């Protein structure tokens, strides 16, 4: 009986995925998602998938935010899942705002902006003596071609990420004595940064083009 319930749960999830899929004709690109490019956060029965690239039958790529809710029956078996999806907001890589920031732990940070060669904005983000580690991060706006960290970025395959131009790219220059600031970042990690409104998001790609983790910081009022 337990095996039958487990099988039913998997069949329910597969049926849900099938209902969301578009069937391709022979020779067309396969509709798919690139979950390895997204940030996945699980809380309770909910799985949040942030900015997952999806590819349609014509090969077009767009970004979705997903919320997957698992149904757990009285015996503790996951027997179904529901998915809510919405198109991710368009990110503006040049919308960084200099000022003071904090995270949910109360860590205090500062973002400074400047101008680099070729008209790029140069950003320096520093959190000093925070509850979960000191961190210094530098990134630049603009394309990967001609980027100050171009060799590191192309070597990690960042230029192969669909929509990589929607982020600004840089590196962790120092991650403090813990060597894992905010339980996420280590020295020399490659990061992608974007800001939407007052929320600055720094995503860690480490040494390849797959998301390892990320952290949000909120701009404080002047």
Q: Any residues with CB less than 8 A from the CB of 1 and at least 6 apart, and which?
A: none
- Residues 6 or more apart whose CB falls under 8 angstroms from that of 83 comprise 16, 20, 66, 67, 68, 69
Average pLDDT over the chain, rounded to whole?
81
- What was the pLDDT predicted at 183? 87
Residue 204 and residue 39: Cα distance in Å, rounded? 10
Residue 201 backbone phi and psi in degrees, to 5: -115, 125
Q: Given this model, what pLDDT does residue 40 score?
A: 72
Q: Is the pTM of this model over 0.85?
A: no
Nearest to 52 by CA among 31, 33, 32, 29: 33
Backbone angles phi, psi at 3, to 5 degrees: -65, -40
Of the ranges 8-22, 114-128, 185-199, which one carries the lowest mean pLDDT score?
8-22
pLDDT bracket for residue 11 (50, 70, 90): very low
The pLDDT, as a whole number, for residue 178 is 60
Q: pLDDT tier at 21 (50, 70, 90 boundaries)? A: very low
How many C-beta neighbours within 10 Å does residue 139 have?
A: 27
**Average pLDDT for residues 9-33, to the nearest whole number?**
55
112 contacts 123 by C-beta, under 8 angstroms: yes
| Tokens (6 digits) for 136 | 């210094």
pLDDT reading at 188 higher than 80: yes
Q: What percent of the chain has pLDDT above 90?
A: 38
| φ, ψ dihedrals at 216, nearest 5° | -105, 145
Q: How confident is the model over 40-57, as pLDDT tens digits? A: 767 788 887 777 788 888
């Amino acid at each position: 009986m337990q095996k039958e319930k487990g099988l039913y749960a998997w069949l329910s999830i597969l049926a849900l995925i099938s209902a969301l899929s578009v069937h391709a004709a022979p020779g067309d690109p396969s509709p798919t998602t690139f979950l390895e490019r997204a940030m996945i956060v699980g809380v309770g029965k909910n799985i949040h998938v942030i900015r997952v690239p999806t590819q349609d039958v014509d090969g077009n790529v767009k970004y979705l935010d997903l919320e997957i809710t698992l149904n757990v029956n009285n015996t503790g078996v996951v027997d179904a899942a529901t998915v809510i999806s919405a198109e991710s907001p368009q990110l503006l890589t040049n919308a960084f705002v200099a000022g003071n920031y904090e995270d949910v732990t109360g860590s205090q940070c500062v973002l400074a902006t400047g101008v680099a060669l070729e008209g790029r904005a140069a950003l320096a983000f520093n959190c000093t003596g925070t509850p979960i580690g000191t961190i210094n991060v530098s990134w630049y706006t603009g394309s990967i071609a001609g980027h100050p960290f171009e060799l590191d970025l192309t070597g990690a395959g960042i230029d192969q990420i669909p929509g990589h131009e929607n982020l600004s790219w840089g590196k962790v220059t120092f991650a403090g004595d813990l060597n894992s600031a905010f339980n996420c970042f280590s020295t020399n990690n490659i990061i992608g940064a974007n800001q939407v409104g007052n929320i600055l998001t720094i995503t860690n790609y480490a040494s390849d083009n797959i998301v390892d983790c990320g952290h949000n910081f909120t701009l404080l009022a002047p």
